[in-house]
């Protein structure tokens, strides 16, 4: 459990959109959108690591950077002791075999004209694995069994539209497992699935992880499933990690005011809570990553911000003990969340 599988150091991704003709004529300057702005974390072997944030926090961009779907502006990604930040095509392909992705929308991530057999064979064909077709089919059947789509023979000839949302997400998981990856990146894998099946999919993913000794990066906006599913959590805000630590610790004792606000906003099924207007500690919405506030980037919405928060350089992640890291300069003065 102590061996580092993936390490990300000071990862940045800045997008510079082209100016429109009108903007150029008006003498406009190019904007820099800092989607990911200095993210560092490491994921241990066999761990489930959760990346939490609102939309616009850069969590999906971080996932894409790790999948090498886009190139980082700066920073390094080390996988299994090897620097994989900038690699040639062959190396990238080899890396992608080891790190696979499960997408959010199981309805859009499969070719509707492919049978499940073809959906699952494609990665094997691309990566030229398992020799001849008969052996490949053998592997496909095994992958289907691993995700509990039984009997597997029956699913081979079905089309994606014949499956329910849960079955599709199982197929998507089988498609990633077929290459014997070491790590899976799952970007909101259950947010499009009905609540009755959501638990089933998470449970299945956990079982697969245990059986095959996989490592997960779980990207989500949903703290409740993150607590159930992950070992450690990193909370992102505007392209940076503001708090990181063991899942239980973060949710029971949040330090950063942003994490506290996120937790306060989660509704809970309790009787008689009706018409108690929750006092949300923060107001407004997440600022644009093209225009990041100075100092601590959360100070514009923070209820505890002082002038120093806006003027001092941005706080780095600090250790509060027990592997609990946070980026709040005033953390000692901030009251604990109830």
Residues lying near another protein in the complex (CB under 8 A): 54-55, 164, 166, 194-200, 202-203, 221, 223-225, 227-228, 248, 251-252, 261-275, 277-278, 280, 282-283, 285-286
Nearer to another protein, 227 or 240 (CB): 227
Cα–Cα distances in Å, from 44 out to 3, 8, 223?
5, 12, 21
The minimum distance between CB 254 and another protein, in angstroms, equals 11
Residue 204 near residue 288 (C-beta atoms within 8 A): no
Residue closer to another protein, measured from CB, 29 or 278:
278
Cα 314 to its chain centre, rounded Å, is 24
Q: Which is nearer to another protein, 85 or 197 (CB)?
A: 197
Q: How far is the CB of 210 from another protein (least distance, A)?
A: 12
Please, which residue, 161 or 332, has the CB nearer to another protein? 161
Residue 263 CB partners (closer than 8 Å, separation 6+) = 223, 251, 254, 337
Task: Give the shortest CB-268-to-another protein separation in angstroms.
Answer: 5
Closer CB to another protein, 55 or 150, in the complex = 55
In terms of Cβ atoms closer than 10 Å to its own Cβ (0-12, 13-18, 19+), residue 327 is buried
Q: Which residue has the tokens 């070719």?
A: 111
Residue 327 main-chain phi, psi, to 5 deg: -125, 60
* Min dist. Cβ of residue 164 to another protein (A): 5
Cβ-in-10-Å burial (0-12, 13-18, 19+) of 324 comes to: middle
Q: How far is the CB of 55 from another protein (least distance, A)?
A: 6
């Amino acid at each position: 459990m102590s061996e580092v599988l993936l390490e990300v150091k000071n990862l940045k991704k800045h997008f510079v959109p082209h100016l429109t003709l009108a903007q150029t004529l008006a003498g406009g300057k190019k904007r820099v959108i800092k989607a990911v702005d200095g993210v560092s974390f490491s994921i241990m072997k066999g761990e489930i690591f959760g990346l939490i944030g609102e939309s616009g926090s850069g969590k999906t961009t971080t996932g894409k950077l790790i999948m090498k779907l886009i190139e980082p502006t700066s920073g390094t990604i080390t996988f299994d002791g090897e620097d994989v930040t900038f690699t040639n095509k062959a190396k990238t392909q080899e890396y992608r075999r080891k790190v696979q992705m499960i997408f959010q929308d199981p309805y859009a991530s499969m070719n509707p004209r492919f049978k499940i057999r073809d959906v699952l064979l494609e990665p094997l064909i691309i990566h030229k694995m398992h020799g001849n077709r008969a052996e490949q089919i053998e592997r496909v059947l095994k992958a289907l069994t691993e995700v509990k789509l039984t009997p597997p023979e029956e699913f081979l000839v079905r089309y994606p539209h014949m499956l329910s949302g849960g079955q599709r997400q199982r197929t998507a998981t089988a498609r990633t497992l077929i290459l014997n990856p070491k790590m899976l990146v799952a970007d909101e894998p259950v947010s499009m699935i009905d609540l009755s099946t959501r638990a089933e999919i998470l449970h299945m993913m956990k079982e697969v992880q245990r059986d095959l000794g996989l490592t997960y990066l779980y990207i989500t906006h949903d703290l409740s499933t993150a607590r159930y599913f992950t070992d450690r959590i990193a909370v992102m805000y505007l392209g940076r990690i503001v708090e990181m630590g063991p899942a239980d610790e973060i949710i029971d004792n949040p330090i950063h005011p942003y994490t506290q606000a996120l937790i306060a906003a989660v509704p809970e099924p309790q009787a008689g809570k009706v018409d108690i207007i929750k006092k949300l500690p923060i107001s407004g919405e997440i600022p644009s990553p093209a225009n990041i506030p100075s100092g601590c980037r959360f100070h514009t919405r923070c209820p505890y911000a002082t002038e120093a928060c806006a003027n001092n350089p941005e706080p780095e992640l600090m250790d509060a003990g027990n592997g609990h890291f946070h980026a709040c300069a005033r953390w000692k003065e901030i009251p604990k969340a109830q």
